[in-house]
């Protein structure tokens, strides 16, 4: 495998080292993901000088577009999805000149020669790195890899990128992994969880392991509990037909929330290299308390939004949005424990949902109360310390602590916070997760991608929840749009004498 085994972050995304020439093929090149996320990310990397001459982007789709038509489509997408102050006409022209389109129904065996011919006519010849980004339905992952192999495009210099969802349960994930694994070695397979490419998520590793002050406190002796919230204010929108078969547990918990939990809970890897980080994350997944039917009933809550008021406007119910009655959950709250020496007895509370009051992804580590009340006669309260790690929006960190309010006459305790706002501290634009991840693919650095055993361990852990929820009598509890989920989600913490940290 080419590329460095160690993945140091770019010193600055604006002075990034160019990657090697590459044929970057996007299956689903005319789709929403490609036009809204992947091509804008490639544009921004090009703008910052990271794409060398000879870097080609080949969109593959069923659309009857030629190169000129595809360039027009992408030019429109860039105008729509790249902030105006980042758009430079000369760079747009440069990016468009890299673009090609191949019309191909991947299930049509006889048409694959079109892609083969297009890729073989590149100036860089056989030595070029080939990336195959599969932004299509997961049912096509196996067949695409098989065809790539048959037409001789799966070489030592090829990498394949898999978008979520990787399966819809353990068995289907294993099937996808087996099919892709028959053609590509694991070190050439990049399973994207774009949360891992977010600056604040990578900074969580740096904060924990490049500093000394937190690590001695990062355990059951000093941490009371951990909360992870990923909330959206939007409803299901256009994704209704996909989402109704998926639900929040599959769409968010199995991947994004469990990945965040892993980064909070994992042991220090010996080195930030691709395998040790993934080894440590896997150990966390394997240490999660297994769910039994009784624990599913006690420790999980499924919800579905009813009509309500969201961000000041009337919002329809989920059933109205998808057009029929449904038992799909749009909200999940659950509690679990990482059963190892470091974390035994510390609850991890996770929740995610649509049509909640705001769009927010945040990890909150709540520390224990001071062991001894030294200021019994003071005014104010001595609150427990909390570290808020804000993943989106407004990436940053906030440490809540107690301070003495200035002034004579006794001691008044007041909560204050130490703030690290990324925008204020570092200035400039925070790169989108895809920018980092796409360049890591070209460089062959898998550190921030999910390994096969991680994905399967996460599916194995959620399997008993899926099974119990699929059983007779289970229905998600309704919550009004614009609220923090069903009352039962609050009760989940209240019974432990705790409460969710809402935004202040």
Site residue total, ligand NAD (CB under 6 A): 22
404 binds ligand NAD (CB under 6 A): no
| Of residues 195, 183, 188, 180, the one with CA closest to residue 230 | 195
By beta carbon distance, the residue nearest ligand NAD is 31
| Of residues 34, 433, 435, the one with CA closest to residue 197 | 433
99 binds ligand NAD (CB under 6 A): no
> Looking at beta carbons only, is 159 or 400 nearer to ligand NAD?
159
Contacts of 481 (CB under 8 A, 6+ apart): 235, 305, 306, 307, 308, 309, 310, 315, 316, 317, 355
- Asked if 256 is an active-site residue, the reply is yes
Coil vs helix vs strand at 480: strand
Contact 265, 283 (CB under 8 A): no
> Which ranges in 153-304 belong to alpha helices (H)?
170-181, 199-209, 240-246, 248, 258-265, 274-287, 293-299
The rounded distance, in Å, linking the Cα atoms of 72 and 168 is: 35
CB of 137 to ligand NAD, least distance (A): 5
- CA 351 → CA 226, 257, 462, distances in Å? 11, 8, 14
> Looking at beta carbons only, is 107 or 467 nearer to ligand NAD?
107
107 binds ligand NAD (CB under 6 A): yes
Contact 481, 233 (CB under 8 A): no
> Looking at beta carbons only, is 34 or 457 nearer to ligand NAD?
34
Coil vs helix vs strand at 269: coil
135 binds ligand NAD (CB under 6 A): yes
Give the contact letters, 159-178, x = binds to ligand NAD (CB under 6 A), - = no: ----xx--------------
Question: Interface with ligand NAD by CB under 6 A: which range of 59-67, 111-119, 219-227, 445-453?
Answer: 59-67
CB of 434 to ligand NAD, least distance (A): 10
Coil vs helix vs strand at 356: coil
Q: Which of residues 235-274 bind ligand NAD (CB under 6 A)?
A: 242
389 binds ligand NAD (CB under 6 A): no
CB of 249 to ligand NAD, least distance (A): 16
Contacts of 408 (CB under 8 A, 6+ apart): none
300-306/331-337 β-pairing: antiparallel
CB of 380 to ligand NAD, least distance (A): 46
Write down how long the chain is: 504
Tokens of 227: 């909360």
Judged by CB under 6 A, the residue of 6, 68, 79, 137 near ligand NAD is 137
66 binds ligand NAD (CB under 6 A): no
30 binds ligand NAD (CB under 6 A): yes
Q: Which of residues 140-159 bind ligand NAD (CB under 6 A)?
A: 140
CB of 428 to ligand NAD, least distance (A): 25
Q: Which of residues 314-343 bind ligand NAD (CB under 6 A)?
A: none
CB of 192 to ligand NAD, least distance (A): 8
Q: List the catalytic residue out of 101, 147, 225, 256.
A: 256
CB of 215 to ligand NAD, least distance (A): 34
Judged by CB under 6 A, the residue of 5, 9, 33, 401 near ligand NAD is 33
> Which ranges in 60-181 belong to alpha helices (H)?
67-81, 89-98, 113-120, 141-150, 170-181
The rounded distance, in Å, linking the Cα atoms of 352 and 29 is: 30
230 binds ligand NAD (CB under 6 A): no
Q: What are phi and psi of 222, to 5 degrees?
A: -115, -20
Query: Catalytic residues, which ones?
Result: 256
Q: Which residues bind ligand NAD (CB under 6 A)?
A: 28-34, 61-63, 104-107, 135-138, 140, 163-164, 242
């Amino acid at each position: 495998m080419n590329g460095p085994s160690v993945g140091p972050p770019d010193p600055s995304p604006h002075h990034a080292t160019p990657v090697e020439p590459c044929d970057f093929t996007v299956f689903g090149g005319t789709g929403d993901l490609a036009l809204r996320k992947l091509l804008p990310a490639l544009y921004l990397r090009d703008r910052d000088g990271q794409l060398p001459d000879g870097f080609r982007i080949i969109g593959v789709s069923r659309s009857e577009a030629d190169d000129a038509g595809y360039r027009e489509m992408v030019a429109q997408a860039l105008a729509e999805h790249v902030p105006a102050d980042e758009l430079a006409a000369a760079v747009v022209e440069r990016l468009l000149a890299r673009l090609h389109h191949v019309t191909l129904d991947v299930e049509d065996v006889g048409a694959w020669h079109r892609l083969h011919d297009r890729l073989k006519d590149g100036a860089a010849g056989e030595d070029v790195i080939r990336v195959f980004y599969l932004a299509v339905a997961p049912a096509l992952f196996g067949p695409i890899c098989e065809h790539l192999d048959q037409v001789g495009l799966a070489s030592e210099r090829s990498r394949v990128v898999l978008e979520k969802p990787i399966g819809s349960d353990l068995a289907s994930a294993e099937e996808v992994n087996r099919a892709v694994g028959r053609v590509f070695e694991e070190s050439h397979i990049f399973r994207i969880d774009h949360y891992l490419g977010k600056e604040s998520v990578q900074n969580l590793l740096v904060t924990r392991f490049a500093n000394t002050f937190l690590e001695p406190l990062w355990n059951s002796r000093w941490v009371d509990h951990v909360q992870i919230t990923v909330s959206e204010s939007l409803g299901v929108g256009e994704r209704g037909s996909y989402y109704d078969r998926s639900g929040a547990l599959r769409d968010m918990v199995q991947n994004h929330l469990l990945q965040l939990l892993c980064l909070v809970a994992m042991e220090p890897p010996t080195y930030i290299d691709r395998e040790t980080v993934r080894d440590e994350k896997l150990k966390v997944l394997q240490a999660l308390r297994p769910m039994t039917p009784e624990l599913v009933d006690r420790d999980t809550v499924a919800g579905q939004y009813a009509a309500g008021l969201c961000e000041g406007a009337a919002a329809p119910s989920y059933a109205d949005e998808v057009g029929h009655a449904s038992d799909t959950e749009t909200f999940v709250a659950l509690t679990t424990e990482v059963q190892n020496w470091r974390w035994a007895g510390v609850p991890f509370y996770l929740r995610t949902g649509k049509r909640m009051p705001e769009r927010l992804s945040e990890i909150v580590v709540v520390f224990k109360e001071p062991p001894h009340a030294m200021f019994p006669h003071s005014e104010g309260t001595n609150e427990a310390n909390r570290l808020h790690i804000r993943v989106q929006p407004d990436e940053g960190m906030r440490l809540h602590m107690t301070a003495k309010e200035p002034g004579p006459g006794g001691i008044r305790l007041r909560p204050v916070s130490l703030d690290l706002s990324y925008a204020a501290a570092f200035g400039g634009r925070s790169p989108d997760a895809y920018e980092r991840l796409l360049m890591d693919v070209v460089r062959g650095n898998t550190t921030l991608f999910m390994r096969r055993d991680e994905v399967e361990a996460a599916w194995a852990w959620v399997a008993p929840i899926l099974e119990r929820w699929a059983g007779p009598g289970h229905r998600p509890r309704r919550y009004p749009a614009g609220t923090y989920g069903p009352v039962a989600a609050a009760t989940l913490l209240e019974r432990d004498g705790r409460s969710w940290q809402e935004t202040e």
